[in-house]
Structure formats: C-alpha cells, structure tokens
Copies of this chain bind each other. A is one copy, B any other.
Amino acid sequence: MKMYKKWLKDTQLKVTPARLNILKTLDQADGFLTADDLFMTLKPKINNLSLSTVYRALDQLEAVKLIESATLENKKEVQYELAHTKHAHHLICLSCGKVIHIHECPVHDFAKSMNNQHHFKVTSHTLDLYGYCEDCQ
C-alpha cells in the first residue's frame, strides 16, 4: 500500500506519518471525517501525535488538492474527504449520520440557465440531500 506515498510525492509534499495515515484513513472511511475523528483514530498509531499536526496536514493536503473540505448543515466542525470522491453529491442520513456518495448530478443544465437568466457565471456547486437511509426509516 504505497499508493498514498506516491500521491504525496507527486505533489512534492514530504512523506510524513501524519499525512500518510490521514490519506489512508480518509480513503478507507466511507463518509466524512473531522480533524478530531482523524486525531482519535491516529493517536494510537502515531507516537505523540498532536491535534495541530492533524490540522496542519489537512490544510496542506487540501492545498495540493488531495483532499477537500466541506461544512454540512448543523455541524460546526469542518469535514474532510479524499478529493476524488468529491464532485459527488451526498445523501446524508439525519438519523445515523451515514453519508452516501452519489455521482449523478441534475445541476448542469440548471447552472447554464442561471448563467443566462442572472448573468452569473457558475464555477462550482454543492448539492446535499438530507433524509433517512434504508436502515433508519
């Protein structure tokens, strides 16, 4: 599993335990994780890990676009996920918090029409659907 190492090298970021493990953990998680989630998960694995290292690593990984951050409604903490899973939209369960990534998107034509109607040049968008997953209904 040296894939993560390659990702880092390709961005010219140094390979450090914190960065490596953050990528790995985000890759294996199926939803979003917060800085503190990552800290709790990695603390037992990385000697003396500190929360600020996690925050700094997340900032750097986001800067080189390996990961992306998002803020979900009603959550104050910033959430992180691997970049390539982004550009998906989300089904977010209001009961158990599960996040399902979906890849279809009904927005493209809509964005074009906004461009025409409001002379607004759309460069990106977020679309999150809230509700109840199969298990929680």
Contact = CB atoms under 8 A, between A and B. Distances in A.
Interface stretch (A3-11, A34-42, A112-120): A112-120
Interface residues of A, number: 37
In the assembly, how many copies of this chain are there?
A: 2
**Is chain A's interface secondary structure helix, strand, loop, or mixed overall?**
mixed
A121 B126 contact: no
Nearest to A108: B106
Interface string A119-136: 111111111111111100
A68 to B, nearest CB: 10
Interface of A: 70-73, 75-76, 91, 93-94, 100, 102, 104, 106-107, 109-111, 113-114, 118-134, 137
